[in-house]
Amino acid sequence: MKTIKTLAFKFHPTKDFFILDQTLLPEKKVFITIKNTKQMVLAIKQLKVRGANLIGVTAGLSLAQYAFKNPKAKNLKALAKQLSLARPTAIHLSLIIKQIMKQKSPSAKLNQAIDFYKEDKKACLEMAKKASSLIKPRDRILTYCNTGSLATAGIGTALGVIKQAFHQDKKKIHVFVCETRPLNQGSRLTFWELQQEKIPSSLICDNMLAHLMSQKKINKVFVGADRISKNGDTANKIGTYNLALISRHFKIPFYVVAPSNTIDKQFKTGKTIPIEKRSEKEISPYWAKHKKNIINPGFDITPRYLITKIITENGFYKN
């Protein structure tokens, strides 16, 4: 097979697996080599590769590559478990690993992993086409965290919709990007992607939302999701709930864009979705070193009633 190339990784089953180290963006664009699944687990935990969809796809490819190169390996189940537990909130990781492990032969595992890559790429395009109709010329759109080609195998979820509206549908729009504290995935990654795409955009601090909305600078919001419960509650990057509440106050449409496999019907509501706890050092290395109390959840839950529409590759989700 040919090498799979995306903005975020380069993969061939019999060669080295390269991922773009996203912790170095936007200052440096550096690809690092992933030689085994243990290195992939570490890369996921350290956010060198991130984004709900992309984590699942790259972890699946890594596991399948290991199985393909080591057909007699007896530690595959243990490695699969380590990958599944690398980050708990996003559903894609455990879902993809589980499906790959159901395949009996190394070739079947590899084909399944590649199929997930293809499905995610296709789903991104379908979501973009369907949700672009929600964007009108001269819209001023706010987005949060990173939901583009650095977070998926394709053009992205929420950011993919924006790319579709601007490039393919030729709509003149302006995008506002929240920095997305504490790791600044918005300022480091999303704003960087928008610069590469030459889409008009402005970077703002997270605490500017109410001010800008009160001035009518923003009229629509598009975000992604890492897991969606049966009733439509969504788990997404910490701060999304704040954004939804403020949007509701100013009567601004709040759209969630995510592939259908993000919907996890084993959770009737979002109240029991597991929330990843991140390192205290991400907020303050100084106070973490001095063992002071720091709270750092990686995600929060946005209730369905705050969401205008949830868009998947199959259309609008009706719970």
Enzyme catalytic residues:
226
Q: Which of 160, 117, 163 is nearest to 10 (CA)?
A: 117
Q: Which of 65, 100, 106, 68 is nearest to 81 (CA)?
A: 100
Count other Cβ atoms within 10 Å, centred on residue 283.
16
Cα–Cα dist 265/270, whole Å: 10
Strands (E), 27-89: 31-34
Strands (E), 71-164: 140-143
Which amino acid, one-letter code, is at 117? Y
Dihedral sign, CA of 27, 183, 228, 39? Answer: positive
Dihedral sign, CA of 308, 214, 160, 88? Answer: negative
